[in-house]
Amino acid sequence: MSHQSINAERLLTRIRELGAIGRNDQGQLTRLAASATDKLGRDRLVAWLRAAGLEIAVDRIGNIFGVWQSQDNAGQSPLMLGSHIDTVINAGIYDGSYGVLAALEVIETLKEQGFAPVRPIVVAAFTNEEGVRYAPDMLGSLVHGGGLAVEAALATVGTDGTTLGSELACIGYAGTAEPGFLKPHAYVELHIEQGPVLEREATTIGAVENLQGISWQRVTIDGVANHAGTTPMAMRSDAGLAAARVGLFLREHIARSNAPSVATIGTMRFEPDAINVIPSRAVFTIDLRDPDEDRLRALESALSGFLDRLEQEEHVIVSVERLARFEPVSFDGAIVAAIEVSAKARGLKSRRMTSGAGHDAQMIARIAPAAMIFVPSRDGISHNPREHTDPADLVAGANVLLDVAVRLAGSP
């Protein structure tokens, strides 16, 4: 294990500099995938990659790769380090960008120290991870991992009616490389936690061993609209009250089961949505997550049984539409162990953990051993201008990434 360290000042300056690109008149940061502001961020990243002496490759879905290879190791499958630089609307500066810029920082550090890796090391910045403009999220890494044909991905129509393919061409990032042309030996992604666990436990490093499965459903409950003043309580089919019971059932069920599952009803709409009319319809979404596939299935099944009972008890009709379903992902045990070893050697408190959010790493895990390193997020906040990680934690995470890169690229 090497105890060399990255250049903290260079990393932190670049994070701030990239975070200044794509701000509007009110100072809000928004770099939606394949937008004009995304182009500005990409241009800056590519300039940095070039300045570090890396070879640039852009594939057909716009994923950017900065490749450090030598005549000696050019035949080997590369170690890939990366994340994404697109953002949500009114974003923070760390989500995604931190992992990409730390990957670049690790390579520059290793080059400066004369390290000669036995395999190439690649910085990757994947297209449209956030999924705000084009669905699904993690699109670039999904295509890279072979989960979606590039033609289909390029034809994706965004929330603004644009097509991803033409927008990429428009900003000059419709590359020529065939997606997946770089098959990694291993993939490591450094990211802010976007949750409260590390901060709450005063732990600097999360060794992410798996990623939750996700089940998204849209539920429509149909009752009967009626006059709020003249319809006795016992004669109602109130779609709103029936909907209210679903979220409370899920919370109680999870509490009883003592599982780490989470359930969220994030959207809700009533019809006719009038103060003096009993709701005839409630439409809402359910987000269920659990790191264990069997437990996630059991939770889906319990929900389904409850909705059946709800139809009887509330005199309503329930229909369910599946919006998305991802099985949990298990990361590579050897990489997770290397993260823990590095943290220990550097005197950093670490813990194994599950990622509750989706990340590019889950897509690359389809084709290569992969894992993630998390650092704390203040108050667990992300996708928000208040997103913040202490500089010391940012540096610590990058140093762990450095150690893991040395381990994975330093030995045959």
For the chain, the distance separating the N- and C-terminal CA atoms, rounded to the nearest angstrom, is 15
Per the CB < 8 A criterion, the answer to whether 311 and 318 are in contact is: yes
Residues forming the annotated binding site for Zn(2+)?
84, 95, 130, 191, 383
Shortest distance, position 21 Cβ to a copy of itself, whole Å: 24
Nearer to a copy of itself, 125 or 263 (CB): 263
Choices 46-54, 69-77, 301-309, 375-383; region in contact with a copy of itself by CB under 8 A: 375-383
What radius of gyration do the chain's Cα atoms show?
23
The CA-based dihedral angle spanning residues 233, 237, 239, 240, taken in that order and rounded to the nearest 10 degrees = 0
> Hey, what are 364's tokens?
């690359």
Inter-residue contact 122 to 144 (CB < 8 Å): no
Question: CB of residue 326 vs a copy of itself: minimum separation in angstroms?
Answer: 11
- For a copy of itself, the closer of residues 260 and 410 by Cβ is 260
Site membership for a copy of itself, residue 196 (CB under 8 A): yes
Helix (H, G, I), strand (E, B) or coil at 134: coil
Task: Round to whole Å and give the CA distance between 172 and 63.
Answer: 12
What does the block give as tokens for 83? 């994340």
Q: Do 343 and 193 form a contact (C-beta atoms < 8 A)?
A: no
Cβ of residue 262: shortest distance to a copy of itself, in angstroms? 6
Residues 5-64 binding a copy of itself (CB under 8 A) are none
Contact call for residue 216 and a copy of itself (CB under 8 A) = yes
- With respect to a copy of itself, which residue has the nearer C-beta, 180 or 380? 380
Whole-number minimum distance, CB 237 to a copy of itself, in Å? Answer: 12
Binding-residue pattern over the window 238 to 267 for a copy of itself, x denoting contact by CB under 8 A: x-xx-xxx-xx--x--xx----xxxxxxxx
Cα–Cα distance, 109 to 17 (Å, whole number)? 19
Residues 377-406 interacting with a copy of itself (rule: CB under 8 A): 380-384
- Residue 306 interacting with a copy of itself (CB under 8 A): no
SS3 content of the chain, % helix, strand, coil (to 5): 35, 25, 40
Site for a copy of itself in 321-340 (CB under 8 A): 323
Amino acid, res. 248:
L
Residues numbered 143-172 forming contacts with a copy of itself, rule: CB under 8 A: none
129, 64 Cβ separation under 8 angstroms:
no
Q: Report in angstroms how near the CB of residue 327 gets to a copy of itself at its nearest.
A: 14
Q: Which is nearer to a copy of itself, 23 or 383 (CB)?
A: 383
Span 274-293, contacts to a copy of itself by CB under 8 A: 274-279, 282, 285, 287, 289
The site that binds a copy of itself (CB under 8 A) totals a number of residues, namely 62
Buried b vs exposed e over 3-29: b needs ≥16 C-beta within 10 Å? eeebebeebbebbeebbebbeeeeeeb
Please, which residues bridge with residue 186 across strands? 79
| Residue ranges binding a copy of itself (CB under 8 A) | 193-197, 200, 212, 214, 216, 225-233, 235, 238, 240-241, 243-245, 247-248, 251, 254-255, 260-270, 273-279, 282, 285, 287, 289, 323, 355-358, 380-384
